[in-house]
Amino acid sequence: MEDKRESSVSPTSFTSVLKLSQIGAASVPKCYVLPPLLRPNLGLCPNPALVSPIIDLSSLHHPIHGLRIKEEVRLACKDSGFFQVINHGIPLSVMNDALDAATDFFELPHEEKMSLASANIREPVRYGTSLNHVKDRVLFWRDFIKHYSHPISTWIDQWPSNPKTYKEKMGNYTQAVHALHRKLMGVVFENLGLSPKYLHEGIYEGSQVMAVNCYPTCPEPDLVLGMPPHSDYGYMTIILQNHQGLEIMSHDRKWYEVPVRKGALVIQIGDQMEIISNGLCKSLVHRATVNSDTDRISIASLHSLALERKVGPASELLVDDQHPLSYTEGSFSGFLDFISNNDIMEVRYIDALKKDP
């Protein structure tokens, strides 16, 4: 198939991968083909030790069982920065409605979605493709709509008004997932012995961005990625997905598939939490693969401190010769500048903030 790169470089006029998928070509355009070393190795086995933390939150407030659940969260944050939760309090119907709203949005006519396209990565509502298709040297097999979401009353009017039920369905899920992240962050902070005051101020002034991702079926899934390896800059990400495709990197730099479990939500620790905890929590490196059978939708709720707020290791944490201060301060805004000027396939913002050992 011909290289569509030329027609894809304008910020507000690009070919969506959904459109390419619907054409039904037998191969992908060259601009999506990754160098061999960066290609996915599809068909990986899940690593039970890494992907098994499925934490049942139903007894979180029980005086005895609650302690065990908090310990499970502590270990998952320390070891990998990854776990899944069940019995988290968000009804399956609310989750399914959000996935339906996302599917209906991507099925809108291309021109209608393009009215939300923007070259400005700080735009509160933005439809796009790849990661940053204007800058990416190789394109990724993903279309997305991202919208600022907290406080919801500030942003919801700017969300897509078509499909008609989008705001209601996505809004219900957005608020439910914000409440869940507050509950989980309470546990993460308690485990670190950090004051809830820090947490509450941070969260209420903080940001929630919903990244609604569509990975359409792809004729050559072993040559492309839906999203490149990266860690999320915020402190926590919660992912709702309808099909397999998320892969996480283990300590030995191997990739493992995350199995999809009905009703479960994926929890990922992000860079800000690694920094706040001075390295006691791990920011998870992950990527998205695609497949030739099923369109995949994922909805990532990205939680971070306010755009301009400086984030460094919490002052209450023990820092001494045994536990040296490991990071300099960064901010969400600094991250946005960083990704505008660097290739995230080559360098992560958090690595730039790490102090020399």
Ligand X SMILES: O=C(O)CCC(=O)C(=O)O
Interacting residues toward Fe ion by CB under 5 A: 232
Cα angle vertex 56, ends 54, 58, to 5°?
170
Q: Which residues contact 168 (CB under 8 A, 6 or more apart)?
A: none
Of the listed pieces 14-22, 216-224, 238-246, 334-342, which binds ligand X according to CB under 6 A?
A: 238-246
Q: How far is the CB of 159 from Fe ion (least distance, A)?
A: 21
Q: How far apart are CA 288 and CA 141, in angstroms?
A: 9
Q: How far is the CB of 146 from ligand X (least distance, A)?
A: 8
Q: How far is the CB of 317 from Fe ion (least distance, A)?
A: 26
Of the listed pieces 58-66, 109-117, 239-247, 307-315, which binds ligand X according to CB under 6 A?
A: 239-247
239 binds, among ligand X, Fe ion, none (CB under 5 to 8 A by kind): ligand X
51 binds, among ligand X, Fe ion, none (CB under 5 to 8 A by kind): none
> Cα dihedral angle (304, 233, 136, 255), rounded to 10 degrees?
-130
145 forms part of the interface with ligand X (CB under 6 A): no
Q: In this structure, are residues 126 and 118 in contact, taking their beta carbons and an 8 Å threshold? A: yes
* Residue whose Cβ sits closest to Fe ion: 232
Of the listed pieces 24-32, 35-43, 240-248, 348-356, which binds ligand X according to CB under 6 A?
A: 240-248
**Cα–Cα separations (whole angstroms), residue 83 to 69, 237, 269:** 12, 11, 9
298 binds, among ligand X, Fe ion, none (CB under 5 to 8 A by kind): ligand X
The two three-digit tokens of residue 51, written as one number: 């992907």
Query: Looking at 298, 301, 304, 326, which residue binds ligand X (CB under 6 A)?
Result: 298
Query: Looking at 180, 184, 227, 350, which residue binds ligand X (CB under 6 A)?
Result: 227
213 binds, among Fe ion, ligand X, none (CB under 5 to 8 A by kind): ligand X
288 binds, among Fe ion, ligand X, none (CB under 5 to 8 A by kind): ligand X
Q: Which of 131, 299, 133 is nearest to 228 (CA)?
A: 131
| Count of helices and strands (H, E) across the chain | 12, 12
Q: Which of 224, 245, 240, 256 is nearest to 293 (CA)?
A: 245
Query: Looking at 17, 82, 129, 232, which residue binds ligand X (CB under 6 A)?
Result: 232
Q: How far is the CB of 54 from ligand X (least distance, A)?
A: 17
Query: Which amino acid does the sequence have at 238?
Result: I
Query: Looking at 285, 300, 314, 339, which residue binds ligand X (CB under 6 A)?
Result: 300
* Residue whose Cβ sits closest to ligand X: 298
Q: How far apart are CA 242 and CA 86, in angstroms?
A: 15
Query: Which amino acid does the sequence have at 96?
Result: N
Q: How far is the CB of 274 from ligand X (least distance, A)?
A: 16
Query: Looking at 4, 126, 286, 348, which residue binds ligand X (CB under 6 A)?
Result: 286
Nearer to ligand X, 4 or 230 (CB): 230
Query: Looking at 191, 213, 289, 304, which residue binds ligand X (CB under 6 A)?
Result: 213
Burial class (CB within 10 angstroms; exposed 0-12, middle 13-18, buried 19+) of 299: buried
Q: Which residues contact 109 (CB under 8 A, 6 or more apart)?
A: none
Q: How far is the CB of 247 from Fe ion (least distance, A)?
A: 11
Residues 70-99: b if buried by 16+ CB within 10 A, e if exposed: bebbbebbebbbbbbbeebebeeebbebbb
Q: Which of 237, 233, 140 is nearest to 180 (CA)?
A: 237
Q: How far apart are CA 289 and CA 116, in angstroms?
A: 25
Nearer to Fe ion, 29 or 228 (CB): 228
246 binds, among ligand X, Fe ion, none (CB under 5 to 8 A by kind): ligand X
288 forms part of the interface with ligand X (CB under 6 A): yes
Residues near ligand X (CB under 6 A) are: 211, 213, 227, 232, 239, 241, 245-246, 286, 288, 298, 300
